Structure 1
Amino acid sequence: MINIKHHGAVTGVTGSCHELVVGQSGIFIDCGLFQGEEAGNGATANDLSIDFPIDHIRALVVTHVHIDHVGRIPYLLAAGFQGPIICSEPSAIMLPEILEDALKIGFTRDRALIERVLGLIRSRLVPVPYGQWHSVFDGQDGSLAVRLQRAGHILGSAYIECEAESDGAFERIVFSGDLGAPHSPLLPEPMPPERADRVVIESTYGDKDHESRVDRRYRLKAVLENALADGGTVLIPAFSIGRTQELLYEIESLIYEFGGEAGMGSDPSGSDPLWDDLEIVVDSPLAATFTRIYRDLKPFWDAEATELVKQGRHPLSFEQLTVINSHEDHLNAVDYLTRSHRPCVVLAGSGMCAGGRVVNYLKAMLGDKRNDVLFVGYQAKGTPGRDILTYGPHGGWVELDGERYDIQARIHQVGGYSAHAGQSDLVRFVRGIEPPPSEIRIVHGDADAKESLKSQFHSAGLTGIMIPGLA
Structure 2
Amino acid sequence: MLTLTHHGAVTGVTGSCHELTLHGPGGAKGGMLVDCGIFQGSEAAGRSNADELAVDFPLAHIRALIVTHVHIDHVGRIPHLLAAGFDGPILCSPPSALMLPEILEDALKIGFTRDTRLIERVLDRIRARIVPVPFGQWHTVFNDGAGRLAIRLQRAGHILGSAYVECDATTVAERERIVFSGDLGAPDSPLLPEPRPPERADRLVIEATYGDRNHEDRATRRHRLQAVLEHALADGGTVLIPAFAIGRTQELLYEIEGIIFEAGDDPRWKELDIVVDSPLAAEFTRLYRNLKPYWDEEATARVRQGRHPLSFDQLLVLDRHEDHLKAVDYLTRTGHPCVVIAGSGMCAGGRVVNYLKAMLGDARNDVLFVGYQAAGTPGRDILTFGPRGGWVMLDGERHPIRAQIHQVGGYSAHAGQADLLRFVAGIPEMPAEIRIVHGDDEAKAALKKKLEEAGATCVLVPNSTAIAASAAPAVPMIASWQQE
CA drift of 1:215 comes to 0.2
Matched, 1:450 2:444: yes
Q: Kindly indicate whether residue 75 of structure 2 is the aligned counterpart of residue 81 of structure 1.
A: no
Structure 2 counterpart of 1:384, one-letter code: P
CA–CA distance in 1 between the matches of 2:15 and 2:301? 37
**What is the alpha-carbon distance in structure 1 between the residues aligned to residue 264 and residue 22 of structure 2?**
58
Which amino acid is 1:296 matched to? N
In structure 1, distance between residues paired with 2:379 and 2:84: 33
Spell out, residue by residue over 1:4-26, the C-alpha distance to the aligned partner (whole angstroms, 9 max, x if none): 00000000000000000012010
- Tell me the SS of whatever aligns to 1:280: strand
| Whole-Å separation in 1 of the counterparts to 2:123 and 2:335 | 43
1:12–1:44 CA distance, 2 compared to 1 (3 A): farther
> What secondary structure sits across from 1:9 in the alignment?
coil
> Who is 1:356 aligned against?
350
User: For 1:147-158, what aligned pairs fall within 5 Å after superposition?
Assistant: 147-158=152-163
**Whole-angstrom distance in 2 between the partners of 1:329 and 1:64:** 31
Which of 417, 423, 426 is residue 423 of structure 1 equivalent to? 417
- Partner SS, residue 210 of structure 2: coil
Question: 1:62 aligns to what?
Answer: 67
Q: Secondary structure at the match of 1:86?
A: strand
Matching residue's letter, 2:80: Y
What per-residue deviation string (whole Å, max 9, x for no partner) do you get for residues 272-331 of structure 1?
210110000000000000000000000000000000000000000000000000000000
Within the candidate set 130, 136, 139, 1:134 is matched to 139
Alignment match, 1:267:
none
Aligned in 2, Cα 1:200/1:298: closer, same or farther, shift over 3 Å? Answer: same
Aligned residues of 1:34 and 1:44 also touching (Cα < 8 A): no
Q: Which residue of 2 aligns with 1:369?
A: 363
**Further displaced range: 453-462 or 8-17:** 453-462
User: Shift in Å at residue 40 of structure 1?
Assistant: 4.0
Segments of structure 1 that go 5 or more residues without pairing to the other structure are 261-271
In the other structure, the counterpart of 1:381 is: 375
Q: TM-score, normalised by structure 2?
A: 0.94
Please, which of 336, 339, 357 is the counterpart of residue 333 of structure 2? Answer: 339
Tell me the distance in 2 between the aligned counterparts of 1:84 and 1:395: 50
Tell which has more relative contact order, 1 or 2 (C-alpha 8 A, sep 6+). Answer: 2
Q: Paired residue for 1:296, among 287, 290, 298?
A: 290
- Corresponding residue of 2:7: 7
Structure 1: 4+ residue segments shifted above 4 A: none
Q: Distance in 1 between matches of 2:125 and 2:346?
A: 30
User: Normalized against structure 1, the TM-score is what?
Assistant: 0.96
| Cα displacement string for residues 251-282 of structure 1 (whole angstroms, at most 9, x for unaligned residues) | 0000000141xxxxxxxxxxx21011000000
Q: Distance in 1 between matches of 2:59 and 2:139?
A: 21
Q: Where do 1:35-434 residues align within 5 Å?
A: 35-40=40-45, 44-47=48-51, 48-260=53-265, 272-434=266-428
- Give me the whole-angstrom Cα distance separating, in 2, the residues matched to 1:410 and 1:74: 40
How many residue pairs are counted as aligned between the two chains? 459
Distance (whole Å) between structure 1 residues aligned to residue 173 and residue 131 of structure 2: 29
Query: How far does the alpha carbon of each residue in 1:38-96 deviate from its partner, in whole angstroms, 9 at most, with x for none?
Result: 0148x543432211111110000000000000000000011010100000000000000
Moved more, 250-259 or 88-97: 250-259
In structure 2, C-alpha distance between the alignment counterparts of 1:123 and 1:40, rounded to whole Å: 34
Measured at CA, do residues 124 and 97 of structure 1 come closer, stay the same or move farther in structure 2, by a change above 3 Å? same
Paired amino acid for 2:143: D
* Aligned residue identity for 2:381: D
Distance in 2 of aligned mates of 1:292 and 1:259: 26
Superposed CA RMSD: 1.0
Distance 1:60 1:460 in 2: 33
Aligned with 2:151: secondary structure? strand
Cα shift readout 1:183-236 (whole Å, capped 9, x = no counterpart): 110000000000010000000000000000000000000000000000000000
Q: 1:167 to 1:16 in 2, by over 3 A?
A: same
Amino acid at match of 2:300: T
The separation in 2 between residues aligned to 1:391 and 1:436, in whole angstroms, is 41
For residue 30 of structure 2, what is the aligned residue in structure 1? 25
**Is contact 1:259–1:274 with CA below 8 Å preserved after alignment?**
no
Cα distance in 1 for partners of 2:181, 2:394 equals: 34
CA contact (8 A) 1:259 1:276 kept: no
Letter paired with 1:365: M
For 2:409 and 2:86, locate their aligned partners in 1 and report how far apart those are by CA, in whole Å.
Answer: 38
Q: Deviations over 1:390-422 (max 9, x none)?
A: 000110000000000000000000011110000
Q: Deviations over 1:96-119 (max 9, x none)?
A: 000000000001111000000000
In 2, distance between residues paired with 1:44 and 1:290? Answer: 30
Amino acid at match of 2:311: S
Shift of 1:469: 1.5
How far off is 1:168 after superposition? 3.1
Gap change, CA 1:406 and 1:259, over 3 Å in 2: farther
Structure 2: which 5+ residue stretches go unaligned?
Answer: 24-28, 465-484
1-structure distance, mates of 2:48, 2:102: 23
Amino acid aligned to 1:108: T
Distance 1:417 1:222 in 2: 15
